[in-house]
Amino acid sequence: MAPTFSPRSILLSVLFLFSTNVLAISAVIGIDLGTEYIKASLVKPGIPLEIVLTKDSRRKETAAVAFKPSQHALQSGSYPERAYGSDAVALAARFPGDVYPNLKTLLGLPLDHSIVRRYAARHPSLQLEATKNRGTVAFKSKATAEEEAWMVEELLAMELQSIQRNAEALAGSDSTVRSAVITVPPFYTPDEKRAVELACELVGLKVLSLISDGLAVGLNYATSRTFPVINEGGKPEYHMVFDMGAGSTKATIMKFQGRTVKDVGKFNKTVQEVQTLGVGWDPTLGGDAFNYLIVDDMISKFVETPAAKRASVSEEGVRGHGRAMAKLLKEAERLRHILSANVDTAGSFEGLYEDIDFRYKVSRADFEKMADVHAQRAAVAVQQALDIAELDIAQLDSIILHGGASRTRFVQRELEKLAGGDKIRGNVNSDEAAVFGAGFRAAELSPSFRVKEIRVSEAATFPIAMKWASTSGKTPRQRLWMEGSLLTSAPKEVTFTNHEDFSVRFFQQIPSPEGTDEKEFLELKTKNLTGTAASLMLNYGCAGGDIQYKAQLRLSPENGEVQVVKTFAQCETEEAEKEGIMDGVKNLFGFGKNKDQKPLADGEESTESETTSTTTTSSTESAATPSSSESVESAEPPKKRLVVIPVGFTTEKLGIPGLSKSELTKAKDRLKAFETSDKARRLREETLNQLEGFTYKVRDLLDSEAFVAASTSEERAVLESKASDASDWVYGEGADASHKELKSRLKELKDLASPIEKRIEESSKRPELIQTLKSSLNSTNTWINTIKEQIAEAEAFASSASASAASATEAAPSVTEAPSQEAGEFDGLEDESATTTTTTTAVEDVGPPPPLYSLEDIKELTELYDSIMAWLEEKIAAQEKLPATADPILLAKEITEKTKKLEQAGVDMAMRSVRKFESKFKKHSTSSSKKSKTKTKTKNATKTNKEEGSAPTIDLNFGENGEMPSAEEIEEMIKKMAEEQKSKDDAEAKTKTKHDEL
């Protein structure tokens, strides 16, 4: 018979099988992907929402990765050392051609894009080239000259992988981070968003959703607030997030409100809603643009210095020098930050260009004058958002500032001109609000967490339309969504008149200096529309003009792209009237339908055959007779029904081609090989440091008195020689040695020093451990002897009791007195009392308590004691004969094991007696309770018997601090139990005597 399992067992099994997967997704991160900095927040059980720190304990990581060129040729499968964040930026002055900053601005753009050309001009040492078949940006590295150019997505994936490792270090060794929500600018096109998703895919990060920067800040703003409930008469709040970072400026207008919705059962709940109404932006206005204003000013002043003029230095020469530009950019950013709080500042360069020193000074007034035009561009982005949201700036409740560049003085002044100073707010963390919002969104989308319910609605940034080839040969266009349309809106149903397979292309209408660009991003192709239309005409009688092809479309909440929900062909046709069973029965008995129950006309026969003939004739001439016309007019109109048949379809992404399966695998393998090379390098460096440190340790050991006492002069001489050779080798050929060779050298030194160090360790630990073992042996021996004495005492008492009983039997009279015939009914009670008195006297002399163990019980413990004692005496004698420089025979590990074994045997003996005692007491308590109920059958007697038969309190105190109890503690515990048992027995005997007297 097959085994059956309960539903509970099945549920537990399922939970057990999937527990690993649940734990694997329990940690999620939110990533604020900025132009200059990358920040991340972690959500995990026990870690509600915390910033992921860098390896330098910083709360943000510079968005840069660098390859540090190797001094020697790389072996096959090896890659150069990578640096991230501030470490990568620090290498820019030395290796400007292998440091890759601000990669976010290049994602999803072709090589000939204006932004890419500007980036290349600002970083002249970087070698940019187009990727094959895609045309996007790739970098050729000098440090990896034999490798193909690195795609910008691969370099961004390296930065995300560094963030991922930091997050897993914060989450703990038992957690992995595989899911993320990432912020992107609202003006990102599908190509740019797909580039972000590709970078995440390369390092195994699943993108739960992409969220715009402004909405992430708004979500963080809503987490700690409640808003008016609109279906209870409240008015929504309107706030604008003005986000100016290093690379771009965004203005996002959002509506915040509460809403009461249906909850489980008959209950209602209030949820918070955040909806994006309008977005404005400037993709090139940010902190970097301000930095380059200072750079341009520094270059122009540098070339005017006398030293530069003598060397005929030109601005083009400085801008084309990678190291000079790296120094200028780094210093410009520092100066800009200082000017946010100071009136003026200065910087100096040593050997900036052609070994010419340069000192630069700038005031805040000069800087604001240079940036006056840029400040006015901020107002344009704000007005664009207001126009799309169809709001006036007076209707805004506040303007929330976010981003490092928003703290610039002249930017805030420009906003105050637009809205007034009372609406400017700094009530969110201007650096971390977006990353906290992304982390909250990640926790909301993950099934592992339950958070405050906030319903967010992203809005389309660009108008979305479609075009297709119609049956007339034209290419009509139809706009589907306007800018500001919510991504969470209901699907749209569009209708086509095509009856043959065709394709539909979806595109965004993106503003450009020349007008509007149509950027295609998705194509819908039908699969069986031709056959479906033919089937509708053939099987359902549909006319060609009545057949319609429809598609339901929606915007994806995750990335804003068009999603095809379903497609189908339909037409409206007349429904054939079906004759049911009842109609057939009525016709059988002559009761047809209403139209068949009309009276016969003049001249009609009633016979069945003639009726049939007349009906045929009448139907032939119906068009010419007035009665026939009236019959048609009175007839019911035919019923219509809608025939719907699903149509298959495929979708294909347009725009920049994605990676093929082989290209994707190749990119992943290359990143894995780079990571493996990094791990091997870290292991080699750790081993090299250990070897170098051990050579210094050997020098200290050779000067130690304990080490000298435990070693021979030959051993010390060999060790000193090997350590000296290893030290010279480390600073010579060993600097470039492989990990295997370094490990071998380290092992050789440890093999010489470890035996001597072990002698020192053993000699220091041995006396105390021997004393502990001897103490345990003494305690065990005392316990064994005590038990043997108790057994002997009990046996002696039993023998004397038997002898006394035998003598009493011999002294008793052999004739028993017969009872008197005149005895009354209650005369026998006196004899009973006398007998009871004698019994009471016998019970009072109970003798010593019975022993808890027999000789057989302590046999195993006795043998163990004898064997350990003999082993210890033998080992001590052998160890004392050895010199201090010999390897020990009596090891600390063996002594500890013997001690634990002996103590465990004692505990097992104690627990055996406890279990035996409890089993005996349960039987005694049960029998006593039955007797009491039989004799008295009263509540008081039962209550008394239960109280007296309650188990004695057994205090099992197994030592302090979790240690095993000593032999004295075990013996004391057993004595206590025996005394309690004796007192209970005495009490029961006295109770029995009283009952007998009654």
Cα–Cα distance between 618 and 628 in angstroms, integer?
A: 8
Question: Could you write out the DSSP letters of every residue in 404-445?
Answer: GGGG-HHHHHHHHHHH-GGGEE--S-TTTHHHHHHHHHHHHH
Closest CA to 287 of 252, 326, 244, 319: 244
Position 892 confidence tier, pLDDT thresholds 50, 70, 90: very high
Place of tokens 């971390």: 432
Alpha helix stretches (DSSP H) within 172-319: 190-202, 213-223, 287-303, 306-310, 315-319
Strand 268-282 to strand 454-457: parallel, antiparallel, or no bridges (unpaired)?
parallel
pLDDT at 624 over 80: no
Query: Which whole number is the average pLDDT over 851-878?
Result: 88
| Least reliable range by pLDDT among 109-113, 505-509, 847-851 | 847-851
Q: Residue 69's pLDDT is what?
A: 86
DSSP H or E run through 326: helix 322-339
Place of tokens 């301000």: 290
Q: Are 249 and 378 in contact (CB under 8 A)?
A: yes
Q: Specify the 3-state DSSP secondary structure of 509.
A: strand
Higher pLDDT, 728 or 734: 728
For residue 132, give every residue at least 6 positions away whose Cβ sits within 8 Å of its Cβ, in sequence order, or none.
none
Q: Are 295 and 332 in contact (CB under 8 A)?
A: yes
Q: Give the start-end residues of each E strand in 442-502.
A: 454-457, 464-468, 477-481, 492-496
Q: pLDDT of 188-211, one tens digit each? A: 999 999 999 999 999 999 999 999
| Least reliable range by pLDDT among 197-211, 277-291, 563-577, 880-894 | 563-577
Q: Residue 855's pLDDT is what?
A: 83
Closest CA to 24 of 44, 51, 4, 3: 44
Q: Are 318 and 353 in contact (CB under 8 A)?
A: yes
Closest CA to 375 of 330, 432, 416, 428: 416
Tokens of 238: 């309107």
Closest CA to 240 of 280, 271, 196, 202: 280
Would the CA dihedral through 969, 971, 973, 975 be positive or negative? Answer: negative
Rounded-to-10 torsion of CA 370, 373, 379, 380: -150
For residue 60, give every residue at least 6 positions away whose Cβ sits within 8 Å of its Cβ, in sequence order, or none.
37, 38, 39, 54, 431
Q: pLDDT of 795-844, one tens digit each? A: 888 888 888 777 766 655 544 444 444 444 444 444 444 444 444 444 44
Strand 503-512 to strand 515-526: parallel, antiparallel, or no bridges (unpaired)?
antiparallel
Cα–Cα distance between 401 and 414 in angstroms, integer?
A: 13
Question: Could you write out the DSSP letters of every residue in 258-293?
Answer: EEEEE-STT-EEEEEEEEEEEEEEETT-SHHHHHHH
Query: Which whole number is the average pLDDT over 921-936?
Result: 55
Instruction: List C-alpha distances in Å: 161 to 58, 290, 675, 681.
Output: 17, 30, 10, 17
Q: Residue 952's pLDDT is what?
A: 47
Question: Could you write out the DSSP letters of every residue in 608-642?
Answer: HHHHHHHHHHHHHTTTTSHHHHHHHHHSPPPPEEE
Higher pLDDT, 606 or 414: 414
pLDDT at 618 over 70: no
Q: Residue 893's pLDDT is what?
A: 93
Q: Residue 655's pLDDT is what?
A: 93
Q: Whole-angstrom distance between the N-terminal and C-terminal Cα of the chain?
A: 63
Q: pLDDT of 253-264, one tens digit each? A: 999 999 999 888
Position 981 confidence tier, pLDDT thresholds 50, 70, 90: low
- Count CB atoms within 10 A of the CB of residue 944: 14
| Least reliable range by pLDDT among 275-289, 467-481, 644-658, 964-978 | 964-978
Query: Which whole number is the average pLDDT over 856-885?
Result: 90
Instruction: List C-alpha distances in Å: 269 to 261, 264, 265, 274, 873.
Output: 6, 9, 11, 17, 79
| Least reliable range by pLDDT among 532-536, 787-791, 994-998 | 994-998
Higher pLDDT, 800 or 214: 214
Share of the chain above pLDDT 90, in %: 57
Query: Which whole number is the average pLDDT over 892-904?
Result: 92
| Least reliable range by pLDDT among 533-547, 821-835, 844-858, 892-906 | 821-835
Strand order in the sheet with 398-402: 424-425, 398-402, 237-244, 249-262, 268-282, 454-457
Query: Which whole number is the average pLDDT over 101-117?
Result: 94
For residue 49, give every residue at least 6 positions away whose Cβ sits within 8 Å of its Cβ, in sequence order, or none.
41, 42, 43, 436, 439, 440, 443
Tokens of 342: 């100071």
pLDDT at 600 over 60: no
Q: Residue 366's pLDDT is what?
A: 93
Helical pair 739-811 and 661-702, crossing angle rounded to 10 deg: 70
Q: Residue 641's pLDDT is what?
A: 85
Query: Which whole number is the average pLDDT over 372-400?
Result: 93
Cα–Cα distance between 347 and 358 in angstroms, integer?
A: 9
pLDDT at 11 over 90: no
Q: Residue 133's pLDDT is what?
A: 87
pLDDT at 109 over 50: yes
Share of the chain above pLDDT 70, in %: 78
Tokens of 256: 């915040």
Structure letter (DSSP) for residue 949: T
CATH of domain 27-285+377-456: 3.30.420.40
Closest CA to 327 of 103, 96, 35: 96
Tokens of 736: 């470039």
| Least reliable range by pLDDT among 459-473, 482-496, 602-616, 984-998 | 602-616
Beta bridge partners of 184: 212
DSSP H or E run through 920: helix 892-935
Would you list the domain boundaries of the chain? 27-285+377-456, 486-575+646-653
Query: Which whole number is the average pLDDT over 884-910?
Result: 90
